[in-house]
Structure 1
């Protein structure tokens, strides 16, 4: 972190000096001034080509960078409050690992080798691993949330949907933006961004750099360290080249370093014997496993675009990403090593995508080829202090993925159009898993005594191929320019793999891996704009979910048994509504409503005592899937003429009861709750200055976002929970040159 801080500080002074020589007029600052009145058009790329949000036949939410800035949204998990039927949270026991669910489909387990069910894309580059994926919001153009399977255009692992994080392009004007945030719990942030043309209309360089620091919401009462603190440095640097009017290249590099302390859970039950009672503050812990934690991610990408003709554009996206994580979780959250897990992860990925976009009279389409070469590896100890035993788990998954896809839209009449898409995906995977028992506390891999394993539980390398066709069909009817109705079918696919925790002693079939899962989804929608002041988007959906991959961990006499089942089938249906009303030229109201009914038809799980699969569908529920969620946001703009403008916004976000796991846990599951946020922002008349005050979770509501459940005296009756941020107040000052 020290090296990154020095680099960012040097760049800050250098950029400030350059900006002093290249200060454009205030009108060229590039800020979109806050405004109300008639609803503005938002352009999205949900179908890999630019379209109006109101015209695209996909259930998609779009948030501009300006909107998120005025609301004081700190990172992408804040989108959960104002997006229907979505869970987007920090993973249990982590500071920057992302957990995402849309319409009941996702993946809570962030262990290497497991694939997400909601794809994350940064400037159209797929981010394969969730570590470090809780992206802070700075210097962005917009974020799009695509709901439902996106398997045709976005491929494998988007069976629930996709989140697209789109950064700002540099352009051809000099600009420097400085922003600082000061808030509760010692929050101190610095964000610097800008751009500089090196050759007029030909070559520009720009970037954004941020330092985020915050004391802990709580304290580790055993070590004295901050708990739930933040120590993150992030930066992006880009070079844009426009050699001709028809060609464009963008070379981008980004890096994030998270040195925040390890996050341990809050015990919901006292330690048997009473030596560790339940603490009063949910953000406090008494964990003795340690506080060290480090997550480092970086990536390099090259975008090339060539407008070959008036109707044909060719695009290439080449990218490489890598990540390293060293962390630990004290599952029992006590000073003793009852259930401690030190771990490290390493991953890298190379991807190449080629696209041909056609935009002609009567029909449009995108055709593409995709290749991914990814490696994910890691190791962790499961320290069972009451047994004097440590189980080492280590392994690697190598993935090569190939895909070809096409999606074509064509007009049937002046008002009726159709879209047909198809993707073929082939995944080649090789998994290596090693699991062994060692006597004592910690294995040799994590600093324990050098010794041979007492028992090798798993030791294999195997490979499997998975392939699937994922079609999409839609019909769109536009009776007027302001009304769009559509019906669609889409199929999503997530490939199978190998369980990195698999125990071949307890579950011998683990060496064969697990199978893919698929989602077939049907959707109808209506998007309308009325009287130039109201937009109302409605969608209803029905999904058939087959082969769902469920990770199960259960206590066993020899430790903890883990296995992945393709549990069977389920049905999911629901609806979504999003609207925005400009009540007056100064006052606007937005609302969000989501409903999801998700139920297992069959849930076959492996019983380690009998060695048989049993159907327990009547005892299981969907995790991270509240039945209802809703939000209301009010925004008022007060124009003060030459003294600038004031923007007031307030919101209430409701989230229904939700279960942390498929097996309900009364102690761990979260009851329904509502979060209230408010902001007031002043923007100068020349749009150069902006000062804001943002309050989030104003009622200081305690709510769980994750947890672990290991009952029983052997595991210290360890039922622990992790919580969302408490009430925070943040003041912001931004200046643009």
Structure 2
């Protein structure tokens, strides 16, 4: 279906949804926001750093309240993706940051541990542009807002794809507590979450929340239990591990002009690692290449609940380097702290301060060939150790006005100080380890920005807002050391460009028309950027020491910033006394200097390699039906995401002339490339969406019953940046359903929830196995084997919730 037809369909749907309030309501009875009947269920959002209803915010967003998150059992970012079309997340096996987060096809490069993400997180006002924060315990949430498109003005740098804004729950006016216990049958997973909150004094309140989970594993390892050159797995159920988190909150309100909120969270995760579920997703020969002749391999070369990747890497790698050990693992601990203070200077001016602290330490040992056999599949064994430590301190000040007149403003500034270290070691061949890499990086960063917005009420129902953010950022490699094969355990300083500085001015302008309380029409022009930096991955060195006793890097580790510019518009409406609400958004953006990870030999490198155009239309609705207790919801998105200028690294088995030596139009460097200009953007399905319902019965015998169901779908899309045929995920559908029994006051409930009831497997990130397939640009057209980590299969959850107090 082409773009014009998609626009016509969704515009007709939106016209039907918005024409009724236009005909049925007076145009001159409006104040910004909603009338009382509509506002009773409306979520208050802070998408523009002001508290306003979601229908009044001229931004494309999806907002989910705490009760809905709990009812739908959304307790991870990966689960959140099923509720928000164009939001795609997944584990990443080759990055200490450990994840991919994409909105509308734009994501950061997870292969570079120092790289900022195109989709940033904002947790209780603290910005974190790292995917590692996905692992922070997401418990006791008050609400989540997913803001789509560039958000440079309100949420700082590094948000060209969007923002996932999370607000955790605050203290309560009286003593209260809650406990949520869950058990998932297939993975033998236990999950506990609880809180205690209340007042300490008339002006000071507290809240303590905690979370714990332990899982034996939802995938069965079917590797052989013996045989020649077989590394027998330690665990037959993977991935497994445990995790816990705790958060403390203090809120102080000594007067109606000042309040302060302090939140400190700690998370600790210890597991077997995502490579334990690294699977062969596609094998051109029907079995992994390099399988010994006559060997009956258990590998079925498809995404499912079976895996042959072993967590046993053998004893010899630990002899070569003790950081390996003998078993794969993934360990992570994180601290997130935020202090928000608001001071009402007078009746119309408010000064806000948000101080943030984030520290994360992640380390892993992974098996990156998805197999169990040395000298077999695919002729070698490739484990790696990596350790990443990140520390960020941020300070934001913001002055906001609330005049009765036609002009208001918001001005402020943000400062960030960051420190990051990354080390890694890579060997091959389990019988006699062969050195591949050993390196150590430290990066110091400093960034500041100033921003401002002016809002002008041109007419009583027409507002023009405009503003910009200026950002200045410097990064320096204070440590860059590496080893070579001849002296594999001795790290030597490396000469290379070590300083980089970036400047950006991102303007934004929005025209908003509110003819009444229940209708908002808006159009925006936006710009944004994703900071540049350094590749903190395996370096390419001149192995001969120079006159200073250092190695020399043969490549410039720096990459430039990525820029985005475009337009967005939408219609938000509520009618039938607020029972039916609809949102329509249309957008068109151009991205230049696209940051992508490319595989050069066995090395991942981040480069500015292309330009992208993304345009699309999104529509969602919620409907509280005339049947008491029944509500419906749905969302659909169409996106046309294409590379407009992109020469990608050739995938395995791509012959000439499609793969040939050519000069990259962005980097000016020659290499084996193939031109993907005009083809589909990675992780950008044409169509995606969801449909669901919730029903709570009338009270009977002091009890109520809740029913719910959900359907999620996605078109096919590429899952790697080289568009290898084996990396295309086919279209898929997911089905969820649940039932709950609760008392009339909902003080307790028990429930049964089924996720992905069709046991459908899909993947959102993949790569060619570099030791398979024909050489790119050569005579062989044998494609490489595709490997990746699939999603979790069917889940059956049993839940029990108890609530105390108000």
Q: Normalising to structure 1: TM-score of the pair? A: 0.88
1:570 aligned to 591, 597, 612, which one? 612
Q: CA deviation at 1:685?
A: 1.6
> Equivalent residue for 1:426?
472
Conserved in 2, the CA contact under 8 Å of 1:79 and 1:88?
A: no
> Equivalent residue for 1:526?
571
Query: How far apart, in 1, do the equivalents of 2:85 and 2:784 lie?
Result: 36
Query: How far apart, in 1, do the equivalents of 2:215 and 2:707 lie?
Result: 26
1:612 aligned to 655, 670, 677, which one? 670
Give unmatched runs, 5+ long, in structure 1: 1-35, 445-451
> Equivalent residue for 2:265?
254
> Equivalent residue for 1:449?
none
2:350 aligned to 296, 313, 323, which one? 313
Deviations 1:369-403 (A, max 9, x none): 10111112211123232982321232122211101
Conserved in 2, the CA contact under 8 Å of 1:470 and 1:493?
A: yes
> Equivalent residue for 1:188?
190
1:470 aligned to 506, 514, 517, which one? 506
- 1:507-546 aligned at under 5 Å gives the runs 510-511=555-556, 513-532=558-577, 533-546=579-592
Conserved in 1, the CA contact under 8 Å of 2:509 and 2:525?
A: yes
> Equivalent residue for 1:30?
none
Conserved in 1, the CA contact under 8 Å of 2:125 and 2:338?
A: no
Deviations 1:556-604 (A, max 9, x none): xxxx244332123221110100111222233221110011111112114
Q: CA deviation at 1:508?
A: 6.3
> Equivalent residue for 1:340?
383
Query: How far apart, in 1, do the equivalents of 2:558 and 2:153 lie?
Result: 25
Conserved in 1, the CA contact under 8 Å of 2:480 and 2:493?
A: no
Conserved in 2, the CA contact under 8 Å of 1:631 and 1:651?
A: yes
Tell me which moved more, 268-277 or 391-400.
268-277
Q: CA deviation at 1:284?
A: 2.4
> Equivalent residue for 2:761?
702
Q: CA deviation at 1:135?
A: 4.7
Query: How far apart, in 2, do the equivalents of 1:303 and 1:39 lie?
Result: 27
Q: CA deviation at 1:530?
A: 2.0
Relative to structure 1, is the Cα distance of residues 403 and 642 closer, same or farther in structure 2, using a 3 angstrom cutoff? farther
Query: How far apart, in 2, do the equivalents of 1:325 and 1:581 lie?
Result: 43
> Equivalent residue for 2:16?
none
Q: CA deviation at 1:136?
A: 4.7
Deviations 1:239-263 (A, max 9, x none): 2222222211122210111112122
> Equivalent residue for 2:425?
381
> Equivalent residue for 2:397?
354
1:668 aligns with 2:681: no
Conserved in 2, the CA contact under 8 Å of 1:437 and 1:457?
A: no
Q: CA deviation at 1:691?
A: 1.6
Conserved in 1, the CA contact under 8 Å of 2:342 and 2:353?
A: yes
Conserved in 2, the CA contact under 8 Å of 1:112 and 1:396?
A: no
Relative to structure 1, is the Cα distance of residues 565 and 606 closer, same or farther in structure 2, using a 3 angstrom cutoff? farther
Query: How far apart, in 1, do the equivalents of 2:594 and 2:267 lie?
Result: 33
Q: CA deviation at 1:521?
A: 2.0
Query: How far apart, in 1, do the equivalents of 2:365 and 2:678 lie?
Result: 32
Q: CA deviation at 1:291?
A: 2.7
Tell me which moved more, 212-221 or 670-679.
212-221
> Equivalent residue for 1:84?
85
Relative to structure 1, is the Cα distance of residues 644 and 108 closer, same or farther in structure 2, using a 3 angstrom cutoff? farther
Query: How far apart, in 2, do the equivalents of 1:670 and 1:188 lie?
Result: 31
Conserved in 1, the CA contact under 8 Å of 2:329 and 2:366?
A: no
Relative to structure 1, is the Cα distance of residues 523 and 286 closer, same or farther in structure 2, using a 3 angstrom cutoff? closer
RMSD: 2.7
Tell me which moved more, 611-620 or 244-253.
611-620
Query: How far apart, in 1, do the equivalents of 2:137 and 2:738 lie?
Result: 18
> Equivalent residue for 1:678?
737
Q: CA deviation at 1:641?
A: 4.8
Deviations 1:625-656 (A, max 9, x none): 21110110112221115623222110100011
Aligned with 2:555: secondary structure? helix
Q: CA deviation at 1:433?
A: 3.8
Query: How far apart, in 2, do the equivalents of 1:591 and 1:735 lie?
Result: 30
> Equivalent residue for 1:586?
629
Q: CA deviation at 1:434?
A: 3.6
1:63 aligns with 2:56: no
Q: CA deviation at 1:501?
A: 2.1
Query: How far apart, in 2, do the equivalents of 1:308 and 1:401 lie?
Result: 28
Conserved in 2, the CA contact under 8 Å of 1:392 and 1:438?
A: no
1:243 aligns with 2:249: no
> Equivalent residue for 1:638?
697
Deviations 1:348-375 (A, max 9, x none): 1111111112112133332111011111
> Equivalent residue for 2:26?
none
Relative to structure 1, is the Cα distance of residues 645 and 439 closer, same or farther in structure 2, using a 3 angstrom cutoff? farther
Relative to structure 1, is the Cα distance of residues 439 and 727 closer, same or farther in structure 2, using a 3 angstrom cutoff? farther
> Equivalent residue for 2:535?
499
2:297 aligned to 260, 277, 281, which one? 277
Conserved in 1, the CA contact under 8 Å of 2:43 and 2:53?
A: yes
Query: How far apart, in 2, do the equivalents of 1:271 and 1:713 lie?
Result: 6
Aligned with 2:81: secondary structure? helix
How many residue pairs align between the two structures?
A: 686
Q: CA deviation at 1:214?
A: 1.5
Q: CA deviation at 1:605?
A: 5.4
Query: How far apart, in 1, do the equivalents of 2:703 and 2:63 lie?
Result: 27
> Equivalent residue for 2:329?
292
Query: How far apart, in 1, do the equivalents of 2:472 and 2:426 lie?
Result: 34
Conserved in 2, the CA contact under 8 Å of 1:389 and 1:439?
A: no
Aligned with 2:274: secondary structure? coil
Query: How far apart, in 2, do the equivalents of 1:306 and 1:642 lie?
Result: 50
Q: CA deviation at 1:151?
A: 0.8
> Equivalent residue for 2:600?
554
> Equivalent residue for 1:16?
none
Aligned with 1:698: secondary structure? coil
Query: How far apart, in 1, do the equivalents of 2:168 and 2:555 lie?
Result: 41
Conserved in 2, the CA contact under 8 Å of 1:308 and 1:314?
A: yes
Query: How far apart, in 1, do the equivalents of 2:47 and 2:355 lie?
Result: 20
Deviations 1:105-157 (A, max 9, x none): 11141532111000101101012322242455421110000001001111211
Q: CA deviation at 1:327?
A: 0.5
1:223 aligns with 2:233: yes
2:339 aligned to 263, 278, 302, which one? 302
Query: How far apart, in 2, do the equivalents of 1:374 and 1:626 lie?
Result: 35
Conserved in 2, the CA contact under 8 Å of 1:217 and 1:283?
A: no
Q: CA deviation at 1:99?
A: 1.4
Query: How far apart, in 1, do the equivalents of 2:392 and 2:459 lie?
Result: 44
> Equivalent residue for 2:790?
723
Tell me which moved more, 582-591 or 673-682.
582-591
Give unmatched runs, 5+ long, in structure 2: 1-36, 224-231, 314-326, 375-379, 543-551, 651-659, 663-668, 775-782
> Equivalent residue for 2:103?
102
Query: How far apart, in 2, do the equivalents of 1:396 and 1:82 lie?
Result: 38
Relative to structure 1, is the Cα distance of residues 657 and 138 closer, same or farther in structure 2, using a 3 angstrom cutoff? same
Q: CA deviation at 1:713?
A: 4.8
Q: CA deviation at 1:271?
A: 4.6
Query: How far apart, in 2, do the equivalents of 1:214 and 1:93 lie?
Result: 22
Aligned with 1:68: secondary structure? helix
Relative to structure 1, is the Cα distance of residues 310 and 283 closer, same or farther in structure 2, using a 3 angstrom cutoff? farther
- 1:153-168 aligned at under 5 Å gives the runs 153-168=154-169
Tell me which moved more, 677-686 or 214-223.
214-223
